[in-house]
Structure 1
Amino acid sequence: MKKRTYEASNAAKRQICTVLKELMTQKPLNRITVAEIMRGCGMARQHFYYHFDDVYDAVRWIFEEEAVALLREHEGVMLWQDGLLQLFQYLQENRVFCLCALRSMGRDHLKRFFQTDIRAIIRSTIRLIAAELGYEAGEQELTMLTQFYVGALVSIVEDWLLGEIQGTPEELIRFVDQVLRDHVRGAGLRLSQAGPGTAPLLEPDHCAGPVSK
């Protein structure tokens, strides 16, 4: 019974969000009303609030179900590029909708949609590349590198969506992969040239922040 109720609820959510996505290709989000959405669904207006708090909540659900899910499917998978490639392809195929969301909700909202899941992919990717190149990254260095590249990748996604960066999804993924590999390869080369006993770039004491007196 619970499963049937859950499936019915999800079906209603998808129906509502299909209409919302179509409306978002025609006008800004702040000009779309709940009444307008529900007329398109053939449902009573109050049924919207059985599923979502407001229109922005519905947009968040769309990204969770459609875009972020692509990343989660590939978390921990060797072919990590596939997850990011599918994300870029989703954004490309739904560009008008995504631009409407970005312009209506701001960059911070879009960043929060993807940051957690992109972080998991980037962290495991750095580990994988480091292992391939024979470089042992410490936990502090891994954390700092992950944070740095998560911010960079989210910015690339936003700028590409806005048309500020040109390139196909495949070209962007190759670029990210090459930058990560070059960084890890460079770190390994630095340590090998410095000789045995050389400290890593980031040591725990250097990353712990200021010490309170």
Structure 2
Amino acid sequence: MAQQYTKKKIREEFIKILNERPLNKITVKDIASACEINRNTFYYYYTDVYALLSELFQTELQTVIDEYNDTFSWEESFIVATKFALENKIAINHVYNSMQREELEDYIYNVSGHVMNRYVEKLSDGISASSGDKKLISSFYQCALTEMVLRWIASGMKEDPDTIVRRIGQLFDGHIALSLKRSSGLNDVW
């Protein structure tokens, strides 16, 4: 129990510090001092600040997975997934502008993939679309959503993601179901 508390405290303090300064300006000493622990305690849990960052994104991804609700549309699921970014805009911007941008990109890609895979699977119930086509459809939307979020971050996260995602949903409403139905009508298995 104490170990979970300590890890949680380290993550929380790291996010606070990351909201104050760039990633490359954060040291293990800074985090340990903020947590009122010694550096050895930090190293017991993490090899370095980058390992902490990686676990942070994995934890947030797990939160999205745990909060996923089959009654949600893909839009609602994705909006839930943007919660962390909205609550930590400065921290996200610091990671985006760091050498560790790939961690952020992977996180967004994985969240997009999870949301779209679950949604396509749910929507394909009763449609005999090939598994290859389902993967292709999910992947297409995963890539599109990932790039849109990265562009949103690059532009300073000024627009409301709720408005943008819902508008995309309105513009493309029915396209995923139509693609799945087309797959079931194609002769070749992909």
TM superposition score category, shorter chain reference: 0.7 to 0.9
> Which residue type is aligned with residue 108 of structure 1?
E
Deviation at 1:185, TM superposition (A): 5.2
What is the aligned partner in structure 2 of residue 77 from structure 1?
A: 70
CA RMSD of superposed structures (Å): 2.9
Q: Name the residue aligned to 1:194.
A: none
Match of 1:47 among 41, 51, 54: 41
Q: Provide TM-score, normalisation by structure 1.
A: 0.74
Q: Alpha-carbon deviations, 1:129-160, whole Å to 9, x = none? A: 455xx854221211111111111111122221
User: Per-residue deviation at 1:117?
Assistant: 4.3
Cα distance, 1:87 vs. partner? 1.7
Distance 1:130 1:179, change over 3 A: farther
Over 4 Å off, 4+ runs: 188-191
The answer to whether the 8 Å contact 1:34/1:45 transfers is yes
Matched, 1:56 2:43: no
Per-residue CA deviations over 1:34-89 (Å, capped at 9, x if unaligned) read 11211122211111101111101111222222x31332124462214443212212
Q: Which residue of 2 aligns with 1:18?
A: 12
- Does the 8 Å CA contact 1:63/1:113 hold for their aligned counterparts? yes
For residue 154 of structure 2, the aligned residue among 162, 168, 179 is: 162
Shift of 1:165: 7.1
What's 2:21 paired with?
27
Task: Find the counterpart in structure 2 of residue 149 from structure 1.
Answer: 141
Identity of aligned residues (%): 20
Q: Which has the higher contact order (CA 8 A, sep 6+)?
A: 2
Q: Do the aligned partners of 1:29 and 1:100 also contact (CA within 8 Å) in 2?
A: yes
TM-superposed deviation, 1:176 = 4.2
Give me the whole-angstrom Cα distance separating, in 2, the residues matched to 1:167 and 1:129. Answer: 29
Contact 1:85 1:173 (C-alpha < 8 Å) held by counterparts: yes
- Check the 8 A contact 2:113/2:142 in 1, yes or no: yes
TM-score normalised to structure 2 length = 0.82
Deviations 1:94-115 (A, max 9, x none): 1111111222244432232243
Runs of at least 5 residues in structure 1 that lack an aligned partner in the other structure: 1-6, 192-196, 208-213
* Structure 1 match to 2:122: 128
Distance in 2 between residues matched to 1:167 and 1:136, nearest whole Å:
38
Q: Of residues 24, 35, 38 in structure 1, which corresponds to 2:32?
A: 38
The structure with the largest alpha-carbon Rg is 1
Does structure 2 retain, via aligned residues, the 8 Å contact 1:122–1:149? yes
Letter in 1 for 2:146: V
Which SS does the other structure have where 1:104 is aligned? coil
Aligned length: 189
